[in-house]
Each structure stands twice: as structure tokens, then as C-alpha cells.
């Protein structure tokens, strides 16, 4: 829970740091002061405790996962290019193979869709 003197920020806005002035009242609101000395009231569900040590570890963890994703993308794109070269050697495009139901692309499309990506650009 928040206590006077804690440094906090509003979710989504790490640029404005507030200092807790008083603990939450019964309805969950807390008094904060900004860098200009202005007092503002926020609901405790709308703020997060500033924790530089936890933030530093989170950044390291996210960076590591993004590197893994980059490496996996590089492999996936290389394999896609190889599949395209095989098709092109017989004067087919991957789009033609899909359109003519010669190759089942449903599994790779399912993975793309599950990741929130559109499959429309896959065959360009």
C-alpha cells in the first residue's frame, strides 16, 4: 500500500512523478503532489509505485525476450524465403500454392493470427 513520501506515477505516464502526501481514504483516493507543488487526487487503482530496481530488471527481461523473438523471426523469415525459392523454381508463388489448395497454410496462418498479425501480407 502507498504511504506518505512514496514516489508514484499514473499508469501509462512515467514522465510525471508524484509524491504521496496522504494515505488512501475509505473510497480509495489518495492525495499526491507533483513537481510543481500542485496537489492532485488519484484513485489507488490508477497509480503505480515507482520502483527503479524492479523497473531495471523488467527492462532486462523484456529486452532478452525481444532478442529471442528477433532471432526466431530471422529464422522464420529465412525458412519462408527458402519455401518461396522452392515454389519459384517450379514457376509457382506461395500465394498460388495457397489459392489452388496445393499446400495447407492453415497452421502457419493460425500462429500468425494468434499473435495478432494479419496474414494478408504473408504472400506478397
Residues 43 and 62 in one domain: no
Q: d(Cα 69, Cα 76) in Å, to the nearest integer?
A: 10
Q: What percent of the chain has pLDDT over 90?
A: 73
Residues 68 and 86 in one domain: yes
Q: Which residue in 26, 16, 27, 22 sits closest to 2, CA to CA? A: 22
- Mean pLDDT along residues 63-89: 96
Residues 36 and 83 in one domain: no
pTM for the full model? Answer: 0.65
Instruction: Read off the pLDDT band of 1 (50, 70, 90).
Output: confident
Domain count, the chain: 2
Residues 62 and 44 in one domain: no
Residues 57 and 106 in one domain: yes
Instruction: Give every CB contact of residue 24 below 8 A, 6+ residues apart in sequence.
Output: 1, 2, 30, 44
Residue 100, in any domain of the structure: yes
Residue 1, in any domain of the structure: no
- Mean pLDDT along residues 36-45: 92
Q: Helix, strand, coil % (nearest 5) of the chain?
A: 45, 20, 35
Q: Which domain holds residue 13?
A: 7-50
Amino acid at each position: 500500500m502507498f504511504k506518505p513520501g512514496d514516489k508514484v506515477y499514473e499508469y501509462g505516464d512515467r514522465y510525471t512523478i508524484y509524491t504521496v502526501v496522504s494515505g488512501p481514504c475509505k473510497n480509495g483516493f489518495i492525495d499526491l503532489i507533483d513537481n510543481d507543488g500542485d496537489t492532485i487526487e488519484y484513485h489507488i487503482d490508477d497509480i503505480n509505485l515507482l520502483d527503479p530496481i524492479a523497473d531495471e530488471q523488467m527492462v532486462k527481461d523484456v529486452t532478452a525476450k525481444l532478442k529471442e523473438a528477433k532471432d526466431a523471426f530471422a529464422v522464420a523469415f529465412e525458412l519462408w524465403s527458402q519455401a518461396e525459392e522452392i515454389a519459384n523454381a517450379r514457376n509457382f508463388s506461395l500465394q498460388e500454392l495457397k489459392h489452388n489448395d496445393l499446400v495447407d497454410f492453415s497452421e502457419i496462418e493460425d500462429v500468425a493470427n494468434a499473435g495478432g498479425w494479419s496474414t494478408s501480407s504473408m504472400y506478397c
